Amino acid sequence: MPERNYFINESEDDNKFVELWSKTRLPFEPKGWLLEMRNSLRSRLRAMHNPENMMLQAHYVSDEEGFCDVENVLVYNVGSGSFTDLCYRGLCLERVFSLPIQPKNIEEFFPHYQRYSLTDPSKGPLYWAKEQSLAYWTKISCPSLKGAIKPHSFWYAIKSGSIKVVDKLKLPSYFGLKLKINAPSGTRINLASVIKPLLDGIISGFHSHDGSYNPIVVERLNRSLGEEESHIEHMLMERSKAVLGTRNLVHPFRTGVQWNPGDDLCVVAKVVIDDCSVGTSWSLEGELFTVVPCDD
């Protein structure tokens, strides 16, 4: 029998979970057996059902500590269309640094593991616990999560919102993010389709920019946000909310900009939707915090 490159397991009880073991981490543009693996994973995810308004909980396990954005591996590289009916109430993503438990009765060793399951939105992460709050906020105005979502809108919401900074004396090794989206009543969105720009924008809001390409990026952000260039430059450079430090945060890309937050250090991100708001306004509340592994 030829050696397996991946193995997929799913529950026999109403398709409540899907597990993937693989020789290689799923990339954005897979080819060969990786493309076959992605297509098979997509098919299994689409077969899952979420009739009880549950939250999608997903984690990626590997002892490799190289650069990796958890939202890319678990969602973006899979394709948001696979999650349409699975995360309209909430989404919790975790990255775990350990050797994966291997599937039973399989000879091959798989260093990468992904699991997707449904749970109550009130449940917390499985692998990481909050150690210390870095910053928190309540109901700051944010853009709608419908339509074309761009990171700069959420970066601006954080930079211009009322944020309580608790501690920025030491940069965290790893951190977590907990978000609650207050949406107009009856709102139903696929969180998987917006999770990447949402996290990129919010995490960028807790950095300061090192000044690279400033005239160009300021002018391009001015076109997108309609704010005075001096105000945009001030928000890019100011450090009062930069609990995640200073970096080359944004640079020109094609006719716009590309954001470069330190989201590879974000090992847990939980986002829930509260669609009980009256009217048509959207708001965002949340907390940024350092993490420690959960007790076994």
pLDDT of 1 above 60: no
Q: Tell which residue, 34, 24, 99, has the closest CA to residue 61.
A: 99
Is domain 6-119 given the CATH code 3.30.360 in the classification?
Answer: no
CB atoms inside a 10 Å sphere around CB 70: 23
Q: Where are the domains of the chain?
A: 6-119, 128-293
pTM listed for this prediction:
0.94
Q: How many CB atoms lie within 10 A of CB 63?
A: 11
Compute how many other C-beta atoms are within 10 angstroms of the C-beta atom of residue 192. 26
For residues 188 and 61, the model is more confident at 61
Question: pLDDT tens digits for 25-61?
Answer: 999 999 999 999 999 999 999 988 887 789 999 999 9
Say how far residue 220 (Cα) sits from the centre of its chain: 25
Maximum alpha-carbon separation in the chain: 65
> For the segment 127-158, what is each residue's pLDDT rounded down to a tens digit?
999 999 999 999 899 888 887 889 999 999 99
| Rounded distance between C-alpha atoms, residue 181 and residue 139, angstroms | 9
Task: Give the β-pairing of 90-96 and 6-10.
Answer: unpaired
pLDDT (average), residues 86-115: 94
Q: Does residue 203 register a pLDDT over 90? A: yes
